[in-house]
A = this chain, B = another copy of it.
Amino acid sequence: MSVGIRHDDLRRRNRAMVIAAVRRAGQPSRTEIAATTGLSHSTISAISSDLIGEGILAESKPSEAASLKRGRPQVGLSLNPEAATVMTVVLSLNFLSVAVIDYAGQVISEEQRRLDTLTMPRDALIGECTAIVRRRFEDPDLDVRSVARIALAIQGITDTRSRAMLWSPITPHTDIAFADILEAEFGIPATMENDCNMMAIALRWRDPDRYRDDFIAILLSHGIGMGLVLKGELFTGTHSSGGEFGHMIHQPNGALCRCGRRGCVEAYAGNYAIWRNARQMGEDAEPVADVSDADMRALATAARERDGPEREAYRKAGEALGYGLGSLFALIDPAPVAMVGVSAAAFDLIEPALRQAIAQTAGGQHSESISFDTEPNELPLIREGCAMRALTFVDQEIFAPGAQARGSVGKSVA
């Protein structure tokens, strides 16, 4: 059962709250923090004085707009970039990237690398990941001790505890406990996250007005992924990262999916499925391993030019996505959707059939009011989400230790 609140949790939680307020607002004054947190000025004063003393926050120049006002000018509080650093590792199909990010969220250094994830042996894949991290540590400019957290993201299913990759389309291997491996290797806390969840976190930081408490990020790529934020919290399954939107059933006994089953949404809307339909290869054709972004763009161009199998392929993708979203909306009610990935650039071809399908479902009662946004480039989003994930971990678990250990106050996405 949930547990009582001990007296010392109070300060820790309010510390975390202040740090979160600064991370969100950028350069808020103490008065502004008091307003957003609902705590008294005295408390904010005491806490921020502590945090400055510990080198977590720093005072910045009084904000420009405020100097027009009378009275004592506000002093902005900001995150001290040197308080800590975090590392992000993003593993996607044939591509591995790492970045070092300071406490204020700026990228310090990065490295990217192509590799053949589909055919690599298990050990080689793990080795590449540890090696790329190690190379960052060897950078003489980087203070190794400052690295407080490593966040990995991978396309595929991870476990709820964010320790391991359970299954991924980018490698034949399963159940790799990347988080444990990196922790053992470098002695730094690490987590293994799902790529679409990180996209959702990044969207929330990028555009908190549109993506606030309830929204959906859908990755339209070789496969179909989803990151879901409900009531301000990242939605995950009970055992895994969950949210396997791409593998909801669209057509019982339908098209062959990359996962080996039939009729999944992905088997109609993934790049390989669009490709298969556009090339009229039949729904039983084995999914191809990869379709280049250029090929997909050519497909979209062809579909825009004339009515033919390409256009029909996108229509089928839209239909599958629409019925899938309709079923999802039946469960969670409609919410804003962000379409991310290379096929999001072809969303104009997908949207009509999608809206038509969704209008025929219970969740689509107000289908014209459901709004879609597109973002063709998923990698920067994933990296950004990872960074925020790692940074907020440092905020909460390291700079306000114990605050999140019990109960659930103040938990929120990222």
**Within 8 Å of chain B (Cβ to Cβ): is A109?**
no
Q: Cα distance A328–B331 when bound, in Å?
A: 9
Chain B residues whose C-beta falls within 8 Å of the C-beta of A332 in the assembled complex: 237-238, 242
Is B333 within 8 A of A237, CB to CB?
yes
Chain B residues whose C-beta falls within 8 Å of the C-beta of A357 in the assembled complex: 252
Is B333 within 8 A of A249, CB to CB?
no
Chain B residues whose C-beta falls within 8 Å of the C-beta of A355 in the assembled complex: none
**Within 8 Å of chain B (Cβ to Cβ): is A362?**
yes
Closest-by-CB residue of B relative to A262 is B360
Which of A49-57, A373-381, A401-409 faces chain B?
A401-409
In-complex Cβ contact of A259 among B43, B240, B250, B362 (8 A): B362
Q: Cα distance A251–B249 when bound, in Å?
A: 10
Closest-by-CB residue of B relative to A241 is B333
Is B37 within 8 A of A4, CB to CB?
yes
Is B247 within 8 A of A330, CB to CB?
yes
Is A238 within 8 A of B214, CB to CB?
yes
Q: Cα distance A65–B72 when bound, in Å?
A: 68
Is B331 within 8 A of A245, CB to CB?
yes
Majority secondary structure of chain A interface residues (helix, strand, loop or mixed): loop
**Within 8 Å of chain B (Cβ to Cβ): is A145?**
no
User: How many residues of A sit at the interface, in one of the four size bands?
Assistant: 35 or more
Q: CB-CB contacts of A62-75 with B at 8 A, as 1s and 0s?
A: 00000000000000
Which of A10-18, A279-287, A297-305 faces chain B?
A10-18
Which of A80-88, A100-108, A136-144, A319-327 faces chain B?
A319-327
Q: A248-B330, A333-B237 are known contacts. Are A408 and B409 too (CB-CB below 8 A)?
A: yes
Is A5 within 8 A of B1, CB to CB?
no
Is A361 within 8 A of B247, CB to CB?
yes
Is A36 within 8 A of B1, CB to CB?
yes
Is B331 within 8 A of A37, CB to CB?
no
Interface-centre pick from A1, A231, A239 (highest chain B CB count, 10 A): A1
Q: A231-B238, A242-B333 are known contacts. Are A20 and B1 too (CB-CB below 8 A)?
A: yes
Q: CB-CB contacts of A352-381 with B at 8 A, as 1s and 0s?
A: 000001001111000000000000000000
Q: A5-B13, A331-B237, A412-B2 are known contacts. Are A249 and B326 too (CB-CB below 8 A)?
A: yes
**Top 3 closest A-B pairs, CB basis?**
A247-B362, A237-B333, A4-B39
**Within 8 Å of chain B (Cβ to Cβ): is A210?**
no
Q: Cα distance A412–B2 when bound, in Å?
A: 8
